[in-house]
Amino acid sequence: MFKSLATPKGQTFTLTLLFVGVFLGAAVFIPDKFRAALSKGTTLTLDYFGGFYLVLGLGAVLVMLLVALLPVGRVRLGAGKPEYSLLSWIAMLYSTGMGAGLLLRAVQEPVYYFTNPPRASSYLDASDFALQYTFFHWGLTPWAFYGLFGLIVATHLYINKGDILVSQLLPVRLRQSFTVAAVDFLATIATLLGVVAAVGLGSRQLLVSVSTWAGMERFANDGGFLLVMIVGALATVSALFGVKAGIRVLSDANIAMATVLLLLTWTMGVDADAVQTFFRVLWGYVREFVPMSLNWGKTSVSRAFLTDWTFFYWAFWLAWAPFTGIFIARISKGRTIREFVAGTLLVPALGTFLWFTVFGSNAFALIETGRLNASDLDSIYSALYRLFNEFAFKDVANGISLFLIFTFLITSVDSAIFVLSMFSDRGKPEPQKRFRIFWGISIVLVTLAVKAVGREQLLESVSQLLILVALPISLLFVGLVTYWIYRLLAGKRTSDG
């Protein structure tokens, strides 16, 4: 597949194989020491660099907003009209970046903050404050990480006429053989780890929901391998069809069914004040966004909460930024920078806020009326099922949610396959099909190996490893943003360093 292992592309491939081999080998032969080392490394990284992540998150949001407001916001990313309709574009953003996570956390996270508030609020009650912190962790900051990385890639791809490889965003004088291999290796590993973690968690949620709903407890333990292979096979087929005929079609179906589920819960649930709650919490979020982002003044929370939640989330979003950003860039040809910012920052954040408001408010209402205990909703795998089980439309809602978990898994994997294939095919926006088949098989094999070796414990290790990878990615991110802003202000269109 690669002409020579001496080329940067060959070095990246070799490093990736070695990394996967060492990771699985350590998990097999020294599992306890390996998990302890990862846990310690993750804790130290978040302790020492968590504050840096906070500043970086706020900075990313401000840069995105500033670029949209400046005259450069009128610049179009490539000639002609947008390649995809607005709805399809937004659908693919969600399906790639957050779809599966929104189903995992829709109920569990707001309820956790409701019963374990990170601090006191002087003007919001417990339920609104819980939603405010959910907004904070899933709102502007993660989408700014994704969007800003994507904007840098899109500028390079459509205005500078470059390719989509992360290493090609560097100044020419830094594009030495080892540097190119290291940067592309970093992006490849972050994408691979991210999709393995997503498939592991999402498949577990699907298995638990199906087994509980159908009374097939054994399926939750024994069906994981089969499910991973099915998801991988369908995702590979989708990637082979390409963006227009495969990924876009599934993403459109996802957003349509997610909208149905949202409206069903909104109109037939037990909470009738979701609209008022949404605007009330949104105002609180906007009002305290800057001090919350810096953990400053009256909005400051404990170091333990920051490490367990905010630092962890910021690192996770950063680790996913190359993968999601590159895919977003790939589907954004023809849009102005201002449209790009609105579509990757404001619109998805507001949609996410509405999602959590509807599901979180219904969960709070059930807890306050005594129909459910908060402990009934403390599992990311079963909380959504337990919520729907209290409604008259439970079978319909559970059926739609199962469909969404399954299809969101597929769209996360097919996007990753496509991005990894672009890496392997010299940054071509339409990579050869043999690369898509290779990465589809590779993702399935690595995920199966992780599940076979360590099940839930090793999935946690994958997430921790992703957090460690986030540190060099964050440093790369700072460098790329700084260089991009410099060239933007200097009016330079090409990457000639």
pLDDT in tens, 221-265: 556 788 889 999 999 999 999 999 999 999 999 999 999 999 999
Confidence of residue 116 (pLDDT cuts 50, 70, 90): very high
- Say which amino acid occupies 160: N
Confidence of residue 16 (pLDDT cuts 50, 70, 90): confident
Task: Inform me whether the pLDDT recorded for 213 exceeds 70.
Answer: no
Q: What is the pLDDT of residue 24?
A: 82
CA distance 32 to 9: 34
Task: Find the mean pLDDT for residues 411-436.
Answer: 91
pTM of the model: 0.93
Task: Inform me whether the pLDDT recorded for 36 exceeds 70.
Answer: yes
Around Cβ 182, how many Cβ atoms within 10 Å? Answer: 18
- Closest C-alpha to 103, from 408, 316, 378, 310: 408
The answer to whether residues 178 and 353 touch, using CB atoms and an 8 Å cutoff, is: no
pLDDT over 70 percentage in the chain: 93
The answer to whether residues 320 and 190 touch, using CB atoms and an 8 Å cutoff, is: yes
Q: Give per-residue pLDDT as tens, 38-82.
A: 889 999 999 999 999 999 999 999 999 999 999 999 999 998 899
| Full set of structural domains in the chain with CATH | 9-490 (1.20.1740)
Q: What is the pLDDT of residue 495?
A: 40
Q: What is the pLDDT of residue 218?
A: 57
CA distance 197 to 204: 11
CA distance 43 to 340: 35
Q: Give per-residue pLDDT as tens, 272-294.
A: 788 999 999 999 999 999 999 99
Question: Which one has a higher pLDDT value, 268 or 140?
Answer: 140
Task: Inform me whether the pLDDT recorded for 371 exceeds 50.
Answer: yes
Task: Inform me whether the pLDDT recorded for 376 exceeds 90.
Answer: yes
Question: Which one has a higher pLDDT value, 146 or 164?
Answer: 146
CA distance 116 to 419: 39
The answer to whether residues 16 and 188 touch, using CB atoms and an 8 Å cutoff, is: yes
